[in-house]
A and B are shown apart, each in its own frame.
Chain A
């Protein structure tokens, strides 16, 4: 009688866990602060250029459930949510005349606003490696550079990562680690564009 009710209880708990979903019970929802650190402003200069940035929907809503290890808890990394304000802030500082292209770009729009280059960013891979000592997260994006006729004049991939230890022992550790990986990706994207534009202008 006792064994029967015990198994019934265990079964009911199992059904509860199954129906509510393990992720919602045990999962980690990682939201990065979504702001650049002071380091970015020290390292990156402002280029005297006009540039437009187009963010794909795929990027702004990008999340990853890569939990980084077989036995790790389920995790959801809200990458796009943090990437969007950070990349806008980075371009605001990195280029003297920055435009965010919210409308679908066309050659007519490029001509109307005299935009020499448009950069479109899209996500490729989010990597997460959780070990007993810490966590390494990395983000790969692809940047496409368009001329006023919307022909592709350049395409490059950027990897940004942050590898830190003891992150899970600190309040906000995984969040700041994600922020750092995104910032590394964005700062190299801006530096690469600045160098390329300087080369084109010569």
Chain B
């Protein structure tokens, strides 16, 4: 028995450095740096923690960044006509649809079958601009928060724009009834 225990202790000591190496000491400096990056669209600087071995490895922004003016959501109001609010951002190209339709027309076949697709890209409708209200906050149950914004809460057709639901705080799951 004694011999077995000695063998066990010796084996543990041999294994120990390997076990310890896997646990990172939280007080030791890491192989990372804090570097100043610029927001690709606004140019405003912020601090980023990067891995020294691969500083650009997880750079999250797309390499193809185009800069536009800030969007104005008044544009989404149904009363605002197309072009009334200036907009210089990206928009869907319909050119390829028309080019294809023209190709088909030139070939002299099936034009009618394809044209409605081009026409349907300009679907229209009416009413509602969602982003005019201020955020309202209402607590709902232990640890649960609920946020909502409306065009006008007194209107029958108000639109809720956003909400958050806590699912867990400090290791405690929040049940649906408490949210």
Please report A residues at the B interface, Cβ cutoff 8 Å.
6, 9-10, 13, 24-26, 28-39, 43, 52, 55, 57, 60, 73, 81, 84-85, 88-89, 92, 98-104, 106-113, 130-134, 142, 151-177, 179-180, 184-185, 187-189, 191-192, 195-196
Contacts and interface: CB of A to CB of B under 8 A. Distances in A.
A107 B30 CA distance: 10
Interface string B24-44: 111111101010010111101
Given A154-B166, A163-B159, A169-B122, A195 B145 contact: yes
Given A92-B44, A100-B48, A176 B92 contact: no
A108 B25 contact: yes
Contacts of A165: 78, 125-128
Contacts of B93: 29
A17 to B, nearest CB: 9
Interface of B: 24-30, 32, 34, 37, 39-42, 44, 46-51, 55, 57-62, 65, 68-73, 75-78, 82-83, 87, 89-93, 96-97, 100, 104, 107-110, 117, 120-131, 134-135, 137, 145, 147, 149, 159-171
A156 B164 contact: yes
Contacts of A189: 164
A172 B32 CA distance: 41
Contacts of A172: 75, 87, 89-91
14 contacts: A29-B92, A57-B58, A89-B44, A103-B30, A106-B24, A113-B34, A133-B127, A156-B165, A161-B162, A172-B89, A172-B91, A179-B89, A184-B131, A196-B145
B49 A101 contact: yes
- Which of B48, B131, B147, B164: most chain A Cβ within 10 A? B164
Nearest to A33: B89
A102 B50 contact: yes
Contacts of B50: 102-103
B3 to A, nearest CB: 40
Nearest to A157: B165
A9 B109 contact: yes
B107 to A, nearest CB: 7
B60 A104 contact: no
Contacts of B97: 25-26
Given A102-B50, A106-B26, A170-B82, 16 more contacts: A33-B69, A38-B72, A81-B62, A100-B47, A102-B58, A107-B26, A109-B49, A133-B125, A133-B126, A154-B168, A155-B167, A158-B162, A159-B162, A164-B128, A177-B76, A184-B162
Contacts of A36: 70
Contact of A180 (B58, B109, B131): B131
A164 B130 contact: yes
B32 A103 contact: yes
